[in-house]
Chain A
Amino acid sequence: DVVMTQTPVSLSVSLGGQVSISCRSSQSLVHNNGNTYLSWYLQKPGQSPQLLIYKVSNRFSGISDRFSGSGSGTDFTLKISRVEPDDLGVYYCGQGTQYPYTFGAGTKLELK
């Protein structure tokens, strides 16, 4: 199985600041078809997860351009700029390149 390792476990940020979350996979996430199925999700307190980024760097419908994804192979990063109160919660990376699909353990974003 592909193990997804997220760092850090938690982050404190000031409103308006910028943060980065790292996600590393134990195997390359490049699929045989050339696509890299790495996604980012945000779970706000008391809510279901929501999709932010798919295929490494593509923002899902309605997602602010303050969210950006990058990376390749086994190393990926989510950057959030100009942090707003509504950005707080737990961020998960997830891979869909091979079964079983797996997620990172999550990174909790809190206010400083």
Chain B
Amino acid sequence: EVQLVESGGGLVQPGRSLKLSCAASGFTFSDYNMAWVRQAPTKGLEWVASISYGGSNTHYGDSVKGRFTISRDNAKSTLYLQMDSLRSEDTATYYCARELLRRFAYWGQGTLVTVSS
């Protein structure tokens, strides 16, 4: 069974940093592209970033480009999202998702990030 478990969310002040993790199990992690998708409170879905299965290719949404970094450790079957220079508009539930041919086939339960002073 595919499992994606996010962690690392919490309350952080504007301008500070936070690193999210997503522990994957139930599949060969290194075979799949992975992504982060977020959802602000009461809002819709927003794709944040994607990373190729080997980690060499990354893509970012315009709203996070230059501030967020997606990475992975295939030996640990873990996906990361380093979030720097956080803003109030980054407040959201962050979902880890397994990609398959440009679709999000499996999603984690999400971790809430609140950016507030």
Contact = CB atoms under 8 A, between A and B. Distances in A.
Interface of A: 1, 37, 39, 41, 43, 48-51, 54-55, 60, 90, 92, 94, 96-97, 99-106
B53 interface: no
Contacts, number: 61
A99 B47 CA distance: 10
B50 interface: yes
A89 to B, nearest CB: 13
Given A41-B45, A51-B103, 6 more contacts: A37-B102, A37-B103, A100-B62, A101-B35, A101-B47, A103-B46
Most buried by B among A55, A90, A92, A99: A99
Contacts of A92: 44-45
B44 A104 contact: yes
A1 B47 CA distance: 12
Contact of B107 (A49, A54, A55): A49
Most buried by B among A39, A60, A100, A106: A100
A30 B73 CA distance: 33
A110 B46 CA distance: 23
Chain B interface: which size bin?
20 to 34
Contacts of A106: 44-45
Contact of B102 (A41, A50, A96, A100): A96
A7 to B, nearest CB: 14
Task: Please name the 6 residue pairs, one residue from A and one from B, whose CB atoms are nearest each other, closest first.
Answer: A96-B102, A101-B47, A48-B107, A37-B102, A103-B45, A54-B103
Nearest to B100: A54
Contacts of A102: 47
B111 to A, nearest CB: 11
Interface string B19-33: 000000000000000
